[in-house]
């Protein structure tokens, strides 16, 4: 049985229209700079989105690594992001409640907030997906510290759009 008991799972709920998610720090499919990993400062990268559906009332983001030897590994869970947001700044603080940015869940490092790429040395390149969901509700009704599984179950009936950014990292 894998560590954390996690099976291979996709944390993108691909419903509704597709919109754009990007980072000025790296391109889609490109290597994530070490600054945003456990080998660097381990701060979250800046993210920007555009073209979200007009009916979006909030956003939820899950960052995950499907290539981890223990199964899909969750690096970041942030939800109840206000509808008027068009991005997240670099270095989002590791706090449960973020003024004007929403709530953060627990990652598979057992911490609140962002935990950067940190694949085992010699394991090859891993893919890191930033899956952003546009939702038709302002809040999911979840407390801070929700897990990715809890967020996915809560968002399923409310997704009106999605965007994905994928970066890679190898140690």
> What tens-digit pLDDT sequence spans the chain (171 residues)?
234 445 567 899 998 999 999 999 999 999 999 999 999 999 999 999 999 999 999 999 999 999 998 889 999 999 999 999 999 999 999 999 999 999 999 999 999 999 999 999 999 999 999 999 999 999 999 999 999 999 999 999 999 999 999 999 999
Question: Where does residue 50 rank: exposed (0-12), middle (13-18), buried (19+ CB within 10 A)?
Answer: exposed
Among candidates 168, 167, 160, which has minimal Cα distance to 14? 160
Q: How far apart are CA 80 and CA 120, in angstroms?
A: 32
Question: Is the whole model's pTM more than 0.85, yes or no?
Answer: yes
CATH of segment(s) 3-13+33-169: 3.90.280.10
């Amino acid at each position: 049985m894998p560590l954390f008991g996690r099976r291979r799972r996709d944390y993108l709920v691909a419903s509704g229209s597709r919109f754009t998610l990007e980072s000025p720090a790296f391109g889609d499919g490109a290597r994530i700079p070490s600054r945003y990993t456990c080998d660097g400062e381990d701060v979250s990268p800046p993210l920007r989105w555009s073209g979200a559906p007009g009916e979006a009332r909030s956003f939820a983001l899950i960052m995950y690594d499907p290539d981890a030897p223990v199964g899909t590994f969750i690096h970041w869970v942030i939800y109840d992001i206000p509808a008027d947001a068009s991005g997240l700044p670099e270095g989002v603080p590791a706090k449960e409640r973020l003024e004007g940015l929403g709530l953060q869940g627990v990652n598979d490092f057992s911490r609140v907030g962002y935990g950067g790429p940190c694949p085992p040395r010699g394991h090859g390149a891993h893919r890191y997906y930033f899956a952003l969901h546009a939702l038709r509700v302002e809040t999911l009704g979840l407390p801070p510290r929700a897990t990715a599984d809890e967020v996915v179950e809560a968002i399923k009936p409310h997704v009106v759009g999605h965007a994905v950014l994928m970066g890679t990292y190898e140690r």
